[in-house]
Amino acid sequence: MSPALASRTGKLSESLTLSIVAQTAAMQREGIDVAKLSVGEPDFNTPRAIKDAGIEAIESNFTRYTAAAGILDLRQAICDKLESENGLHYTPTQVVVSSGAKHSLANSLMAVVNEGDEVLWPTPGWLSYPEQVLIAGGIPVPYPCHCENDFRIDLDELEALITPKTKAIIVNSPNNPTGAAYTPEETRAFGELLAKHDIWVISDEIYEKLRYDGNQHTSFASVDGLYDKTIVINGVSKAFCMTGWRIGYLAAPQELASTVSRIQSQMTSSVSSISQKAALRALTGDTPEMAEMIQAFHHRRELVVDLLSGIPEITCPVPEGAFYAFPRVDSYLGKSANGKKIEGSLDLCAYLLKEHRVALVPGAAFGAEGHIRISFAASESELTKGIERVKQGLLALK
Ligand SMILES: Cc1ncc(COP(=O)(O)O)c(C=O)c1O
């Protein structure tokens, strides 16, 4: 018999989407045509110039350890980006480059959360948030963003959840899975409320570049009184189709950044030197492909909204950012397929995959039963085919 594992690991849940992913892969291996609307990363390739920068790093033997927080050129480029695009002033010592925005989030939580501290996270929201809070020893506390309110936050409702035990709040605009993105005024109103409290604001801005509502992204750190309380999390994964290169970063007040740098130096050291050079090229050179990608996502957003409006009894706030739609399908729950009752979004997605060959992510995977997530990281023909299958599947329920 093996010795016992750490008690913190016992609280971690299995990924709710794993069985859908495994089943989709198995069906595809059998040659079954599955419309895959479950993907959480852009379906475009990393731009040529960025790939070349990675190849050049290898060829020039830029293949050794770097400073734990990342190469200075890259951290300076991140500071320049934050200054010119977000109006935020940071110096390179306030920036730490990590293995994706996910790692930057985990590092932030390790740096601020004490055992038993509460951390607020948005629901619907990315399920890594509560799991990372648990790993850090904290207690995840969901705050609701209601579908009937276009997934906006009710500030009074949120404030009632802030207690003396609250140590941090995670904010995410544009949001995965809802696509909700705050206007500058909404960010300001939300930020001003947070500035009144002695809590960290961990602002996940990974989908910043993917907006379709004409609004400029506003970083929480730019709200009056929030710079010293905010950890800005961002990266190149979604904005430059670089999910596999694993480059994310945070920018924060000096003491926090130095602490995260120390944590990272003891846990993982720097991220890949090659990826850092590629990210440097992404942030400092032209990448016309990205404008084309955003345009393509914009078209697909219109298509998805239009196709969903043709399905009876579902509601879907128009996604303003990211590349997901999150329709409410709860009026179909409780119905049956082939005599088997569809109890929740997990059952529904399993049914739609098995019987109608369309892969989606259940709302339960984002703490929001009664919804399904449709990713538009898929071609227009795949989206048309997939959403037609969703429609047929829902209408076939009795
Ligand atoms: C809301 C959100 N934050 C962070 C990440 C992680 O990004 P990265 O690939 O840079 O770790 C994701 C990835 O899906 C995400 O959806």
Q: Residue 170 pairs with which residues in a beta bridge? A: 202
Report the atom number in ligand 1 closest to the C-alpha of 172.
1
Distance 355 CA to ligand 1 centre (A): 30
Distance 177 CA to ligand 1 centre (A): 11
Q: Which protein residue has the closest C-alpha to ligand 1 atom 13?
A: 40
Contact 92, 66 (CB under 8 A): no
Distance 334 CA to ligand 1 centre (A): 32
Query: pLDDT (tens digit, 0 to 9) for every residue of the chain, 398 residues total?
Result: 999 998 888 888 877 777 788 899 999 999 999 999 998 899 999 999 999 999 999 999 999 999 999 999 999 999 999 999 999 999 999 999 999 999 999 999 999 999 999 999 999 999 999 999 999 999 999 999 999 999 999 999 999 999 999 999 999 999 999 999 999 999 999 999 999 999 999 999 999 999 998 888 999 999 999 999 999 999 999 999 999 999 999 999 999 999 999 999 999 999 999 999 999 999 999 999 999 999 999 999 999 999 999 999 999 999 999 999 999 999 999 999 989 999 999 999 999 999 999 999 999 999 999 999 999 999 999 999 999 999 999 999 99
Distance 328 CA to ligand 1 centre (A): 23
Distance 198 CA to ligand 1 centre (A): 26
Report the atom number in ligand 1 closest to the C-alpha of 41.
14
Q: In the chain, where do the E strands start and end? A: 35-36, 95-98, 118-123, 139-146, 152-153, 166-172, 200-204, 230-235, 248-251, 324-325, 336-337, 340-341, 358-359, 361-362, 372-375
222: left (phi over 0), alpha (psi -120 to 50) or beta: alpha
- Token representation of residue 237: 């994964």
pTM (2 d.p.) = 0.96
Mutation test of ligand 1: which of 103, 237, 243 has the most ligand atoms closer than 8 Å to its C-beta?
237
Distance 184 CA to ligand 1 centre (A): 22
> Rounded to 5 degrees, what angle do the CA atoms 171, 172, 173 make?
125
Instruction: Give residues (CB < 6 A) around ligand 1.
Output: 40, 100-102, 126, 172, 176, 204, 206, 235, 237, 243, 248
> Which of the 8 DSSP states describes residue 15?
P
Report the atom number in ligand 1 closest to the C-alpha of 248.
10
SS3 call for 347: helix
Q: Which structural domains are found in the chain, ordered by start?
A: 7-45+289-395 (3.90.1150.10), 63-284 (3.40.640.10)
